[in-house]
């Protein structure tokens, strides 16, 4: 019997997760299906339980349900427990178990695929939602000199910093309080989907060598366009992160690691 997996989000039509996991399954000879579902904004937990009750084995979670997935789980693995958000659920011995592979996927894309080690670098994350929570822990553990989380609601940014303060030099602030001096800026908001520009001051981009938008498949988002206009040499979307975090989930679910570079190449969209 074919094993069932899925991704849940809202919106979800843009998701490349089915293509990625189908490619992984073909690579590794796995008998599995993978679907995409749009859950109601206030109904993720019920939709996820319905999927599991119908025999589903695992779920990836995208915007805006990563905190909901964390809250509904019966058991939390380290990445989810420490960050307070989950991007992957699995049924293990009848229990819904949550993990977060966002940060691992992001870190692997930046350090391995983009050949940009983060040790000693000063990094800014824009946004304080579930995506930012998942990204912050591995980035802090990568040996950055400072990780700053900026958000409209400064309380949310500072809450993440306080939660993860034992794992590295992390601070939270409002967008208006962001100054320059960063090596890398990461957009962890959904503005790339909405077409809006982040309210970051232009000075935040001074000296930046890499601007990374976690949104993927939208070409040159307003964030990346602003970064390019302000002189950032390397602008990248989240296609590599998406594939790398998917590979971590696939390994967790199926016990085999797929080959990621050809899948990244297959889903990339030119940034122009």
Q: How does pLDDT run along the chain (272 residues), one tens digit per residue?
A: 899 999 999 989 888 999 999 999 999 999 999 999 999 999 999 999 999 999 999 999 998 899 999 999 999 999 999 888 899 999 999 999 999 999 999 999 999 999 999 999 999 999 998 888 889 989 999 999 999 999 999 999 999 999 999 999 999 999 999 988 999 999 999 877 766 788 899 999 999 999 999 988 889 999 999 999 999 999 999 999 999 999 999 999 999 999 999 999 999 989 87
Instruction: Indicate the angle between helix axes 239-254 and 17-28, nearest 10 degrees.
Output: 50
Report residue 139 as tokens: 């980035």
DSSP notation for 184-201:
EEEE-SSHHHHTPPP---
Q: Does domain 3-101+240-267 have CATH number 3.40.50.10860?
A: yes
What pTM was estimated for this model as a whole?
A: 0.91
Report residue 243 as tokens: 């594939």
**Residue ranges matching CATH 3.40.50.720 in the chain:** 103-238
The single residue of 66, 156, 218, 265 carrying the catalytic annotation is 66
Q: Hey, how many other C-beta atoms are within 10 angstroms of the C-beta on 120?
A: 11
121 is catalytic: no
Residues 209, 201 contacting (CB under 8 angstroms): no
SS3 content of the chain, % helix, strand, coil (to 5): 40, 20, 35
**Residue ranges matching CATH 3.40.50.10860 in the chain:** 3-101+240-267
Predicted local confidence at residue 29, as pLDDT = 98
Q: Does domain 103-238 have CATH number 3.30.70.340?
A: no
Residue with tokens 């080690």: 117
Distance separating alpha carbons of residues 224 and 244, to the nearest angstrom:
21
- State how far the alpha carbon of 202 is from the alpha carbons of 22, 174, 208, 224, 229, in Å: 41, 15, 11, 13, 10
Distance separating alpha carbons of residues 212 and 236, to the nearest angstrom:
5
Residues 146, 179 contacting (CB under 8 angstroms): no
Predicted local confidence at residue 1, as pLDDT = 86
- The closest of 221, 215, 211, 272 to 239, measured between CA atoms, is 215
Predicted local confidence at residue 240, as pLDDT = 97
| Helix, strand, or coil (residue 172) | strand
């Amino acid at each position: 019997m074919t094993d069932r997996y899925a991704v849940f989000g809202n919106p979800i039509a843009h998701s490349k997760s089915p293509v990625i996991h189908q490619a992984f399954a073909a690579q590794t000879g796995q008998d599995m299906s993978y679907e995409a579902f749009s859950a109601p904004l206030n109904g993720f937990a019920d939709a996820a339980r319905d999927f599991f009750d119908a025999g589903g084995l695992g779920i990836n979670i995208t915007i805006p349900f990563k905190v909901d997935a964390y809250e509904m789980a019966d058991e939390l693995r380290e990445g989810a427990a420490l960050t307070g958000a989950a991007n992957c659920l699995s049924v293990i011995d009848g229990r819904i178990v949550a993990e977060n592979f966002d940060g691992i996927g992001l870190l692997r894309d930046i350090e391995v695929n983009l050949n940009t080690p983060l040790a000693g670098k000063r990094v800014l994350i824009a946004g304080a939602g579930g995506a930012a929570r998942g990204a912050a822990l591995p980035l802090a553990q990568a040996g950055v000199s400072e990780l700053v989380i900026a958000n409209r609601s400064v309380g949310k940014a500072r809450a993440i910093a306080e939660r993860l303060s034992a794992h590295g030099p992390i601070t939270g602030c409002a967008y208006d309080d962001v100054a320059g001096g960063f090596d890398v800026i990461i957009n962890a908001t959904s503005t790339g989907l909405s077409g809006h520009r982040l309210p970051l001051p232009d000075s935040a981009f001074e000296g930046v060598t890499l601007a990374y938008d976690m949104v993927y498949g939208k070409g040159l988002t307003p964030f990346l366009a602003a970064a390019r206009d302000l002189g950032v040499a390397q602008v990248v979307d989240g296609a590599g992160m998406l594939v790398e975090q998917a590979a971590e989930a696939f390994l967790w679910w199926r016990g085999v690691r797929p080959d990621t570079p050809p899948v990244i190449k297959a889903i990339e969209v030119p940034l122009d």
